[in-house]
Chain A
Amino acid sequence: MSDAGSTLPTGSTPAVASRPSFAAGVIPSGRSSLWHFLEHQFSRYRTTWRPTIVSGLISPVLFLLTIGFGLGSQIDDTSTLGTDDYAAFVGPGVLAAVAMLQGGQLGLWPTLGALKWEGTYQAVLSTPLTATELATGHILWIGFRITVGSSLYVFVLALFGLVTSPLAVLAPLVAGMVAMSFAAPVSAFSASRDSDEGFSLISRLIFTPLFLFSGAFFPVSQLPVVVSWISRVTPAWHGVEVCRHLINGELDPLNDLIHVVVILAWILTGWLVARRTFTNRLSA
């Protein structure tokens, strides 16, 4: 990492191409340029991590405190939830639900921004990196950031005594995967757009209901049949289930495996489409 010690303040990071780690000559053989992309993003991250951590940690903690503990205090009967109290139900669920929401958001404005307004990704392409590698790096990078934020949140859950299984250390990884399962298809879509028209509609009319009906706040079985199936097909609910099982230590191996497979299928599909739209966008 030739420029890891950068002391540039947030926001004034120069365009990628001007950075030495991307100059064609310095990439050692045997290491892919994808790796360099991630390495580079990481070096930038050291100066821009605060907002990500803040939103990645504060948002789920707020839901835990207000809905989990605040509203939870009004709930006496938790028999349908499978947990002793409501906070133990919501806390782990919100981990995956917020990851989904943030993965989706990162797939919208920041993606189009890097591709269009800021030109960051155009600059990357003047290096040996291909558009496919760029799409891969973009999605992996979102997953990484959400995993970091989620780890802190799981730590907070532990402080509240809501973690009852050592398997909980795997939960942030699942949250990162949930983020990618949304970020991949959404980025693919954003890359095909010329303006952010409709982005706020997607956020409000698709992300919000998927978030609320993800099973994080109440079991999807309480939903009308049609809505519950929408929740079952989209990846958020699968992530909510797996995270809850990992943190509460009540693993259901077969079902959890299926959940993970569904999430991976969404990542893969999204990635396949994203390679195409990224390529089309950047070759035009």
Chain B
Amino acid sequence: MIALRQAARLPESATRFPARHVFERNVLSYRRLWLVFVAGFIEPVFYLLGLGVGLGQLVGQVEVDGMSVEYAAYVAPGLIASSAMNAAVFDSTFNFFYKLKYAKTFDAMLVTPLRLGDVVSGEVAWSMTRSGIYAAIFLGIATILGLVESWWALLTIPAALLIGIAFSAVGTALTSFMRSWHDFDYIQLGLQPLFLASTTFFPLSVYPGWAEPLVQATPLYHGVTLCRNLAFGAQGWGDLWHVGYFVAMAALGVAFTKGRLRTLLMD
């Protein structure tokens, strides 16, 4: 027979930072999916080896901030930013949609003391962490391959967290408008040009003058530039502009997501 009122064991009000329980749920669910987790950071490593090292033999040296660097070393920080983006977008779109529409995970959460804000924060924090972990592992591999020059490169990990939170906030906001899985083709369609065109593989100067501001307006460009400057110790106050871009993106995304979820889950 179960004991029903042992009130002593149960706190009267919820714990501090209830959002962490939403985060814990994701950790639990990924314990069995570690291979999927691993696949997420190996993919950029393939790009590093394929395009960075493989093409590097054709490209030779590239200029960064007046320094002449190996092509693979040039590409590596860009791939840190890209993998942070990929991790965050994957979680905040496909996984988020599944939980929102099919598994009804959030409906189940909202009848507990958790509030909508806790759910959104927990989800975004999880995507962000995933981005940070991917970035850290990727940085480790790049270091082993001898592609990291400066201690400042360690700061690409917090940069990746920032990129992660921004993309995941916007990802959840966009996902809340999705009607079916077919709509995700657009996400894929949007990611590929971001990945290929955001100066990960070649400098901005390659673009014709009119196209430069367009590229500079895209979010991944800021991630790639920030990570690259940090990786080569070439950062300056100007990089705060990139940080500001992501902070704004994250704030807008979270506010939008909360509004949308209120409509979807609570009315």
Contact = CB atoms under 8 A, between A and B. Distances in A.
Nearest to B48: A212
Contact of A204 (B40, B62, B71, B193): B40
A226 interface: no
A63 interface: yes
Interface secondary structure of B, over-half rule:
helix
Contact of B193 (A62, A86, A200): A62
Contacts of A11: 180, 182
Interface residues of B, number: 33
A201 B54 contact: no
A77 interface: yes
A70 B206 contact: yes
Contacts of B39: 200-201, 204-205
A13 interface: no
B264 to A, nearest CB: 21
Contacts of B35: 198, 201
A6 interface: no
Given A74-B206, A205-B42, A217 B55 contact: yes
A143 B192 CA distance: 23
A218 interface: yes
Contacts of B203: 74
A81 B55 CA distance: 11
A86 B192 contact: no
A223 interface: yes
A51 B192 CA distance: 15
Contacts of B197: 62, 65-66, 70
Contacts of B36: 200-201
Contact of B58 (A73, A200, A213, A218): A218
A74 B62 contact: yes
25 contacts: A11-B180, A55-B188, A59-B192, A62-B192, A62-B193, A62-B197, A66-B193, A66-B196, A66-B197, A71-B55, A71-B59, A71-B206, A74-B206, A75-B55, A77-B60, A86-B58, A201-B35, A204-B40, A204-B43, A208-B46, A212-B54, A217-B54, A218-B55, A218-B58, A222-B57
Given A70-B201, A204-B39, 4 more contacts: A11-B182, A67-B201, A71-B201, A222-B54
